[in-house]
């Protein structure tokens, strides 16, 4: 008798799978706005962090789009796209997390240089707006993480390259999921570290505003190495 080992699935994975089925089956159509995070937590009877993990997973799968200040919306996904392997179950080892961080490093350093070369005045205003919001929320961990992701997405949009934006959305969603998996990487829990990260983001934005691709790339590289060290230290510490 052959027996296949049954994997224990986390609650957020079960929630993501339920919502995925509704999207694939057409019960949730493209453009449909999902209930708010608060409403979803009440509906599924789970904590906010669990619900955020489920939404991050759906975003990593390319099934939803998370719009800052507006909510979560179902994306248009055809059958062919659904057959493309996704990231959500890939990062189960330290080696694969290293590969993820290497991919993010390469993409974001390139984005910084491209943004510095192609940015518009509107892009700089958008980056400054994010920095202002980050500065006012340094003592709020969850908001700090959200603003961090918003900064990097805003920078990607300043490249005026839709492929770069899509790649960053996919990778960033998986990085966020990986960080939450550890439950130990608390970059914004410490206000001193949060202030340091804000200054690193400011250095990137200043270089982009100055139209200096080399300085922008160097500032991004420095920032990502700091974050990578924090992630890897936590992962190694917690096995």
Averaged pLDDT for residues 3-7: 41
pLDDT reported for residue 135:
84
pTM for the structure as a whole:
0.66
Considering the domain architecture, whether residues 183 and 215 belong to the same structural domain is answered as yes
Is 131 within a domain?
yes
Residue that wins the pLDDT comparison between 75 and 189: 75
d(CA 69, CA 215): 31
pLDDT of 81 > 60? The answer is no
Is 104 within a domain?
yes
55-69, 79-93, 156-170, 203-217: range with highest mean pLDDT: 203-217
Considering the domain architecture, whether residues 105 and 221 belong to the same structural domain is answered as yes
CATH number at residue 110: 1.20.120.530
| Residue 184: closest CA among 149, 152, 231, 124 | 231
Element (H, E) at 113: helix 94-118
CATH number at residue 48: 1.10.10.10
* The domain boundary residue, chosen from 29, 47, 82: 82
Is 3 within a domain?
no
Considering the domain architecture, whether residues 59 and 162 belong to the same structural domain is answered as no
Which tens digit of pLDDT belongs to each residue from 96-110?
778 888 999 999 999
Residue that wins the pLDDT comparison between 36 and 68: 36
Considering the domain architecture, whether residues 76 and 193 belong to the same structural domain is answered as no
Domain count, the chain: 2
Confidence category of residue 8, pLDDT binned at 50, 70, 90: low
* The domain boundary residue, chosen from 82, 103, 128: 82
For helices 162-182 and 48-60, give the axis angle rounded to 10 degrees. 140
């Amino acid at each position: 008798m052959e027996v296949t080992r049954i994997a224990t699935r986390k609650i957020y994975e079960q929630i993501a799978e339920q919502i995925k089925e509704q999207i694939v089956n057409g019960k949730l159509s493209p453009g449909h706005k999902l209930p708010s995070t608060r409403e979803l937590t009440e509906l599924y009877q789970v904590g906010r962090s669990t619900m955020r993990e489920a939404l991050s997973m759906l975003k990593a799968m390319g099934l939803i789009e998370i719009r800052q200040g507006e909510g979560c919306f179902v994306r248009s996904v055809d059958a062919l796209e659904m057959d493309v392997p996704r990231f959500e179950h890939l990062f189960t080892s330290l080696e694969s997390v290293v590969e993820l961080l290497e991919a993010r490093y390469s993409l974001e350093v390139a984005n910084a240089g491209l943004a510095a070369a192609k940015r518009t005045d509107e892009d700089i205003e958008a980056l400054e707006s994010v920095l202002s919001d980050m500065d006012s929320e340094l003592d709020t961990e969850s908001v700090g993480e959200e603003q961090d992701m918003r900064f990097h997405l805003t920078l990607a949009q300043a490249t005026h390259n839709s492929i770069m934006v899509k790649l960053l959305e996919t990778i960033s969603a998986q990085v966020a999921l990986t960080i939450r998996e550890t439950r130990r990487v608390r970059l914004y829990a410490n206000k001193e570290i949060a202030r340091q990260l804000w200054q690193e983001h400011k250095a990137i934005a200043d270089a982009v505003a100055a139209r200096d691709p080399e300085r922008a790339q160097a500032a991004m590289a420095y920032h990502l190495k700091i974050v990578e060290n924090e992630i890897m230290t936590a992962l190694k510490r917690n096995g």
